[in-house]
Amino acid sequence: MATALKNLNEYNKDRFTDISGKTFGIVVAEWHEEITGVLCQGAVDTLLQHGAAKENIFVNTVPGSFELTLGAQFLAQQEEIDAVIVLGVVIKGDTKHDDYINHAVAQGITHVSMKYNKPVSFGLVTTNTLEQALDRAGGKHGNKGVEAAAAAIRMLSF
Ligand code: RBF
């Protein structure tokens, strides 16, 4: 579990497989894009640092986090894609939209992962405030895009 004391930014790289021949699909929500852009950069940098080829990383955007599931499915159904990384930011507001979106994405991408038997990483930042989201996109709680990429690599080593 990611807390102030523990998160996957300090992952154990010994457990990583060689990803030089692996292909990754990243789906990023455009809502709060100043934050999702940082998550995406963190994910891409992590894949590159661990040997993925630039031409094997496919980044696609969707309008909002609710659309992440279908975006993940479009990617996962492609045979050449080995793992999918889902990135978005949902911030609590006056209504319960966040609950509905977050649950839909969590269940939706789990389903995609099971259906296509591929890792689909959950990089959805779900916070009460904008500040908490910024803290998790290159701030004091690391970068959840990095963590999502690390989880995808780790699962390819399973
Ligand atoms: N999408 C996000 O990615 N993050 C949000 O914080 C977010 N807040 C929303 C708040 C409301 C009230 C609504 C209706 C939508 C919100 N969306 C958000 C967009 C949603 O994920 C989706 O793109 C739209 O509902 C269109 O299907």
What's the CATH class of domain 36-51+62-85+97-158?
Answer: alpha beta
Q: Are 106 and 70 in contact (CB under 8 A)?
A: no
Q: Is 125 helix (H, G, I), strand (E, B) or coil?
A: strand
Question: Residue 35: its pLDDT value, please?
Answer: 98
Question: Which pLDDT does position 1 carry in this prediction?
Answer: 41
**Ligand 1 mean position to 106 CA, how many Å?**
15
Cβ of 83 closer than 6 Å to ligand 1, yes or no, is no
With a CB cutoff of 8 Å and minimum separation 6, the contacts of 148 are: 39, 43, 85, 86, 87, 121, 122, 123
**Whether the Cβ atoms of residue 59 and residue 74 lie closer than 8 Å to each other:** no
Residues 75-109: tens digit of each pLDDT: 999 999 999 999 999 999 999 999 999 999 999 99
Q: What separation in Å is there between the alpha carbon of 7 and the centre of ligand 1?
A: 27
Prediction pTM value: 0.94
Look at residue 13 in the predicted model and tell me its pLDDT.
75
Report whether residue 96 contacts ligand 1, using a CB cutoff of 6 Å. Answer: no
Q: Is the pLDDT of residue 134 over 90?
A: yes
For residue 7, pLDDT beyond 70: no
Looking at residues 27-38, what average pLDDT do you find?
98
The string of pLDDT tens digits covering residues 119-130 is: 999 999 999 999
In the chain, beta strands by DSSP E: 24-29, 57-62, 83-91, 120-127, 137-139, 142-143
Domain ranges of the chain: 36-51+62-85+97-158
Would you say residue 4 has pLDDT above 60? no
